[in-house]
Structure 1
């Protein structure tokens, strides 16, 4: 008796094919390196950045065992079930503009997912790729987290080096996802589970956005990045409960994102601008 083929195969990434597609003269990416296993691609690449790794370095792993989220939260994923990648850029832009690199990755991730998978992804401020409740498969009543993004800045060499990582759930089953609100492309009905194609699409979208943003001197408004972010951010226009340090909670309506990537929330005492570092959680309100 022959066994049934796996309907969700998890083949390894093809490094040579990725280099052939993504590394080119005059392009952003210098080398695509794939590790069989590591704790965190962000941690590894941040260490390499401090040691002088070049602008445009990309580090991917087949199996991330100690991923890093916001506020030090950890996570792990099964081998070859997710796209876990970090990239290093050394932008010639004002330090004040670097807060836009995490949102830039978010816009890139949403664009790649929509284009390849058909899943109606959006952004949740500041750094999650989600599938909004009303657009999810089945009768889901809550937003599903498809990907998390984390950016880290190192100034040890004088000029800033920024590592931006994304962990995108691709072929995990429900039982393999780390938290209740997490979703995968597989779970949302996508047949596009080729991690190599997804990686090429994410890096291609990032390069296009980054090139225009740096040409505008890191100005998110002039480059169109701020507008693209607002267009894909499902948080805007919704009632929210913003959990702040010290157990404080701000309730109001998310009215916008300003030129510094801060969330604007109109509450009982007027409008307040919140940076990602000011916030523990943003939850739906109402």
Structure 2
């Protein structure tokens, strides 16, 4: 991994460690890196413990779903990666982990006073469908068993002029009660850990209920773009027990979803 950051900003390493407490083994803050997910995956391969955190002031080659890349101006966002080492006997499928990450981020934003919805599987949007955060969960086969690196990229304090696309926004623009990156990071990591605990306990009912309450996609006419295949058009009817999106009776586990009619009231 890159060398720890010496910056003393709102993402101060000492304060972050104090906020997290002893239940979190390590929280590395770097000045800059290409990808926190890539760094943490490498650390997982050499024995990094569960709930290790890596964040950075400036991620220059972040990756999202469907191999999309992004970069935010230094100090304006959060690039967070959390290492999850699920119990070998976890009763629910791993396909729920990206949804849990989206749920944790959305609930953390709601606590900041920013009304939030999810576009399946885990894009975190405002109710006007402006994007606040994206999530990428990657499975890593380590010598001690499979692990998951949960990556989250958040637009925190970007101004309107700094937004990468017109469909994006930031917590600052949306009037969040706080844009302190350490506080936001800790809230997300803590909420994620709580939901992973429910997942490991097999509490599918609670997970589906909470996710369904925030998922804007269900009930919409949608188009699913699948690389190398024809587009899927139909009605998003629900989420199955594997976290797949059911469209016209058929479950889909992956694809880029577009809403093709005005959103339902959240």
Report the TM-score, using the length of structure 2 for normalisation. 0.90
Q: Work out the CA distance in 2 between the residues paired with 1:111 and 1:60.
A: 20
CA offset at residue 12 of structure 1? Answer: 3.8
Q: Work out the CA distance in 2 between the residues paired with 1:34 and 1:71.
A: 26
CA contact (8 A) 1:100 1:220 kept: no
1:260 equivalenced with 2:242 (yes/no): yes
CA offset at residue 213 of structure 1? Answer: 1.9
Larger Rg: 1
Residue 242 to residue 220, structure 1, CA distance change in 2 (3 Å): farther
CA contact (8 A) 1:41 1:86 kept: yes
Aligned to 2:98: 102
Pairing partner for 1:273 from 240, 247, 251: 251
Q: Work out the CA distance in 2 between the residues paired with 1:45 and 1:150.
A: 13
Q: Work out the CA distance in 1 between the residues paired with 2:100 and 2:50.
A: 17
* Alignment map for 1:1-286 (pairs within 5 Å): 11-24=9-22, 27=23, 29-92=24-87, 93-94=89-90, 97-116=93-112, 118-133=113-128, 143-157=129-143, 159-214=145-200, 216=201, 219=202, 221-222=204-205, 224-266=206-248, 271-276=249-254, 279=255, 281-286=256-261
After superposition, the C-alpha distances for 1:39-98 in whole angstroms (9 at most, x for unaligned) are 110011011111221111000101111001112111101111011100001101459711
Q: Work out the CA distance in 2 between the residues paired with 1:46 and 1:178.
A: 27
Secondary structure class of the residue paired with 1:237? coil
Which piece of structure 1 moves more, 77-86 or 169-178? 169-178
CA contact (8 A) 2:20 2:186 kept: yes
CA offset at residue 155 of structure 1? Answer: 1.5
Q: Work out the CA distance in 2 between the residues paired with 1:205 and 1:191.
A: 18
Q: Mark the runs of 5 or more structure 1 residues left unpaired by the alignment.
A: 1-9, 134-142
CA contact (8 A) 1:251 1:285 kept: no
CA contact (8 A) 2:90 2:199 kept: no
The list of structure 1 runs, each at least 4 consecutive aligned residues, that deviate by more than 6 angstroms after superposition, is: none
CA contact (8 A) 1:12 1:80 kept: no
CA offset at residue 253 of structure 1? Answer: 1.3
The root-mean-square deviation of aligned C-alpha atoms, in Å, is: 1.7
